[in-house]
Amino acid sequence: MYLNRRFIIASLGAIGLAGCNANAQTTQAASALPSDLRPIANAGFANWSASFRTRAAGAGISAHTLDAAFADAGYIPGVITRDRTQIQTRRTLEEYLSIATSDERLTKGRQAIARYANTLASIEARYGVEALIIAAIWGMESQFGEKRGQIPVISATATLAYDGRRRDFYESQLLAALRILERADTTPAQLRGSWAGAMGHTQFIPTSYQAYAVDFDDDGRRDVWADDPTDALASSASYLARNSWRTGLPWGSEAGTGGLSGRIIQPQRSGVKFAVTRNFDVLKTYNNSDLYAIGVGHLADRLGGAGPLKGSFPPDANGLTKSDRLAIQRGLTARGYDVGTVDGVIGAETEAAIRGFEAAQGLAVTGFATRELLNRLR
């Protein structure tokens, strides 16, 4: 995760709506959270909050904003659990791109682009960042708005600041979140996001919101939380433009296929190579990961009509290619097992389906995708 934007790699509604409807939606969203992600009373947290409020007041936050922000705030134990276990599953580039450009994501992306074509065109015209790149960031960050996060940002950032492992960082995020409320861009109840405070359609942390968010629809609020993604998409374009995005320059291409000059990278050993440009580096300011930047760029290309990569990746540790893993997922699906998205990536849902199949067949239950399993499913 690139600290200038949000803390983790990887990760509602307008104020002007009728109060009872907005409150009902917020209550419903909160009740849908797992119990460990709901704020609870905690004496140590309460003492820390009182001390922080004094510091926040000294930084210019009004008593009215502090009272409103902390009225329903509390300690969230699940945030600490996730912070302690945030080391991500190591995905190969092949797996990463399989997820980033799954058939489901491409279908949803094309529908979203069609729906917001005029908005995306207007954003591109103002900021010089191509509409497909902005759409791809939207798809990578929140599945085109479907997964924006429902955890209260005040409680989440306060919990992490109180915990102390990254106190200075999260106190700065909490203070920035309070300034969002002070400016009336949203309400405490609607200020929701990921467990680490990333918010909205394109997952800005509060300090990045303060620095880069824009009111593109001119309604007086920089509303990245609303169902309407306009301000969020424009804010991401603003971010890239201010980090020196060069209009008309491709992010890169598969080496040897696009006639593009640039430095050559090969993130996965024996896998596909890419020629990348300075715009690739700008994408990495959004998330400091080669895989992420390639994911955004390749998703943008696919949404624009390009085909899959032409090169190949080596077999996995079990000797299976992507086509083998797809065959396993399809075989399990045909037998009534839920593998999640059929994308050639063996994740938790596919492993659970394998275990179910193994148990039903009287086999040793491992959850491993193997050549033997593939042969049994064929």
Place of tokens 């190591």: 90
Phi, psi of 199 (to 5 degrees): -130, 145
72, part of any domain: yes
The tokens for 13 are 């509604």
Per-residue pLDDT of the chain (378 residues; tens, 9 = 90+): 334 554 343 332 222 222 333 333 444 455 578 999 999 999 999 999 999 999 999 999 999 999 999 999 999 999 999 888 764 457 899 999 999 999 999 999 999 999 999 999 999 999 999 999 999 999 999 999 999 999 999 999 999 999 988 999 999 999 999 999 999 999 999 999 999 999 999 999 999 999 999 999 999 999 999 999 999 999 999 999 999 999 999 999 999 887 798 899 999 999 999 999 999 999 999 999 999 999 999 999 999 999 999 999 999 999 999 999 999 999 999 999 999 999 999 999 999 999 999 999 999 999 999 999 999 999
Which CATH number goes with the domain that contains 53?
1.10.8.350
Let me know if residue 3 belongs to a domain.
Answer: no
Looking at the fold, whether 260 and 348 belong to one and the same domain comes out as: no
* Domain annotation covers residue 4: no
CA 337 to CA 326: how far, in whole Å? 14
363 alpha carbon, distance to own chain's centre: 38
> What is the domain extent for residue 277?
93-144+244-303
Residues 76 and 181 in one domain: yes
Residues 36 and 183 in one domain: yes
**Cβ–Cβ under 8 Å, residues 12 and 229:** no
Residues 164 and 207 in one domain: yes
Q: Check the CA dihedral 332-335-337-338 and report its sign.
A: positive
> φ and ψ at 229, to 5 degrees?
-85, 5
Q: How many domains is the chain partitioned into structurally?
A: 3
* CA–CA separation, 167 and 157 (whole Å): 9
Residue 248 has, within 13 A of its CA and on its CB side, a CA count of 0
Q: Give CA separation, 27 vs 24, 153, 210, 248, 304, in Å.
A: 5, 15, 27, 45, 39
Q: Is 192 in the same domain as 341?
A: no
Residues 332 and 363 in one domain: yes
Q: Cβ-count burial of 35 within 10 angstroms (0-12 exposed, 13-18 middle, 19+ buried)?
A: exposed
Domain assignment present for residue 238? The answer is no
Residue 61 lies in a domain: yes
Cβ neighbours for 176, distance < 8 A, ≥ 6 positions apart = 205, 206, 207, 209, 210
Find how far residue 318's CA is from the centre of its chain: 30
Residue with tokens 């991401």: 236
Does residue 156 sit in the same domain as residue 216? Answer: yes
In a domain, 329, yes or no: yes
Burial class (CB in 10 A: 0-12, 13-18, 19+), 330: middle
**Does one domain contain both 158 and 216?**
yes
